A and B are shown apart, each in its own frame.
Chain A
């Protein structure tokens, strides 16, 4: 009966200074978050304010021009970016998803070559994008003689995003519980039926989210295109995969390096367009994730 004999005065429920530490820790966490958000907000406010005079329909109706910066647009850049991203999605997503399926569902991890593959995909994801530019220039543009075309750019960007697509697709596939695979196989389904009818549908939201984030990284890339020696002031929209082209980040880079004030405004307006495309893609990714999130 030790509890009954405990003197009342021994019960100490008053705080011992812990709440202060708890508060400080919370403040530190929120401050870290605030730093990231404040700078994003500042950036958006700054570019919108700077580019405001040019945020009208002439921006996407007109083509770039050196002589008339006050009415120059970025139409060729917008179309170039859309072409590149579309073609990249066509090439990199199926390849990346199939590679991820192999690594997650078929590869025997006890074999050295599969472990080597995994290690190298992680390494590839960390390779700077300019290196992919060198690869694109040397092999695709020159050796394969694809020249500086949409095709060359899209293949280069596909190689750039492929490791990210593979890694995020693997995460999504791994998130499907093994019990689902077992349940399917125990009913006499083949491995491919199990993957195609159970694992893939269950992991599509995760794969889509990862793929969109990978593509939105690709949208902002300028370095590989610079390396490829891309034109900046293309005055026509691409007509096919063998057209020459420019992309938004490259046009922004070229506008900013010019002395006239009008080009700085034009660059800011183009940045707003680029950011808008990025935020749109990311919100689609978030929406997909929330809409189709699986609970097991």
Chain B
């Protein structure tokens, strides 16, 4: 803990003198910065999330690039899942939860008065931490989204296409009418991804999608994410830093901060290209976290 420079994997002249003072980040001058996504799907500015009177997350600014994988990492209770759940307005379901600040989805204010959260969730799908297939057949799990959204067309084709995209078709094509709960955990999670794909979303949010899975199933999901990022924008919350490093284009590091009144808030510490976050972070807290000193 004496000299932070020794822990930096690559020392490309990034000045790190001011790191003992919170919130002071000094960028290396010779490397051009490109934290703003060129073609943003989400533009978050000044986002704070409240549960009742408690401000769980304070002042988040970030952009989510189109057809990119953005990872959100950080210790437990730092608000990364809370921010993720703002992107499809799942926080609306928690009594007393509200968001302040602005999230633009393309050019539209996600929290605007005229916005229907149902329509938001149709375009912005979500995969949860624990696989949560419906207690129905594999087929009905996939067909559920299109059906509730009133999609006409050949359901068999929609189901096959979604399962194929989720790399699950070959494993389940002979037991498509079987209960989805008979699948293994990793298969269930890919089913949940297929279910999200079936409504043809624009964005897929993933809230620690591999934390309940074994390493082999995790690898499959990670490969799948790479594959899907050609067609979809993906935002993933993960506790696993290696996972963020492996799959994502950009990484946002969150942490919990205690303000002058003694209240903990989740804060976005650093948001940058993944390669830079993991090789040359600007903030000492990011560095401490990724080197395993904290969190």
Give the B-binding residues of A (Cβ under 8 A): 108-110, 177, 179-180, 182-190, 193, 197-198, 202, 294-296
Contacts and interface: CB of A to CB of B under 8 A. Distances in A.
Contacts of A188: 118-119, 121-123, 145, 148-149, 199
A183 B95 contact: no
Contact of A186 (B90, B96, B135): B90
Contacts of B128: 179, 182-183, 186
B235 to A, nearest CB: 13
10 contacts: A179-B128, A180-B132, A182-B126, A183-B128, A183-B195, A186-B90, A186-B128, A187-B121, A294-B135, A296-B181
Given A179-B130, A180-B134, A294-B135, A186 B196 contact: yes
Contact of A187 (B96, B133, B144): B144
Contacts of A187: 121-122, 125, 144-145, 148-149, 195-196, 199
B125 A186 contact: yes
Contacts of B125: 186-187
Nearest to B93: A185
Contacts of A109: 95
Given A109-B95, A184-B144, A190-B148, 14 more contacts: A108-B95, A180-B132, A182-B128, A183-B133, A183-B195, A185-B93, A187-B145, A187-B148, A187-B196, A188-B145, A188-B148, A188-B199, A193-B148, A296-B181
A183 B122 CA distance: 12
B88 interface: yes
Contacts of B118: 188-190
Interface in B120-161: 121-123, 125-126, 128, 130, 132-135, 144-145, 148-149
Contacts of A180: 132, 134-135
Contacts of B88: 186
A182 B95 contact: no
Interface residues of B, number: 27
Given A185-B90, A185-B121, A197-B148, A296 B134 contact: no
A103 to B, nearest CB: 14
Q: Which of A108, A110, A177, A186 has the most CB of B within 10 A?
A: A186
B192 interface: yes
B135 A179 contact: no
A110 B118 CA distance: 24
B86 to A, nearest CB: 13
A228 B255 CA distance: 68
Contacts of A198: 134
A95 B126 CA distance: 35
B90 A182 contact: yes
A70 B70 CA distance: 86
Q: Which of A188, A189, A296 has the most CB of B within 10 A?
A: A188
Contacts of B145: 187-189
Contacts of A295: 181
A125 B223 CA distance: 55
Q: Which of A180, A183, A202 has the most CB of B within 10 A?
A: A183
A291 to B, nearest CB: 14
B290 to A, nearest CB: 30
Enumerate the 6 nearest inter-chain pairs by beta-carbon distance, A residue then B residue, closest first: A188-B122, A179-B132, A187-B145, A186-B126, A189-B148, A183-B132
Contacts of B135: 180, 202, 294, 296
A187 B145 CA distance: 5
Interface string B186-199: 00000010011001
A184 B134 contact: yes
Q: Which of B88, B128, B130, B134 has the most CB of A within 10 A?
A: B134
A180 B181 CA distance: 12
Contacts of A186: 88, 90, 121, 125-126, 128, 196
A178 to B, nearest CB: 9
Contacts of B195: 183, 187
B125 to A, nearest CB: 7
B21 to A, nearest CB: 41
A96 B43 CA distance: 46
B148 A183 contact: no
A190 B120 CA distance: 12
Contacts of B96: 110
A294 B181 CA distance: 10
B93 A183 contact: no
A189 B132 CA distance: 15
A150 to B, nearest CB: 39
Contacts of A183: 128, 132-134, 192, 195
A184 B126 CA distance: 10
Contacts of A190: 118, 148
A296 B134 CA distance: 9
Nearest to A202: B135
A161 to B, nearest CB: 28
Nearest to B149: A188
A110 B95 contact: yes
A120 B216 CA distance: 53
Contacts of B192: 183
Interface string B108-124: 00000000001101110
Contacts of B149: 187-189
A114 to B, nearest CB: 11
Interface string B227-270: 00000000000000000000000000000000000000000000
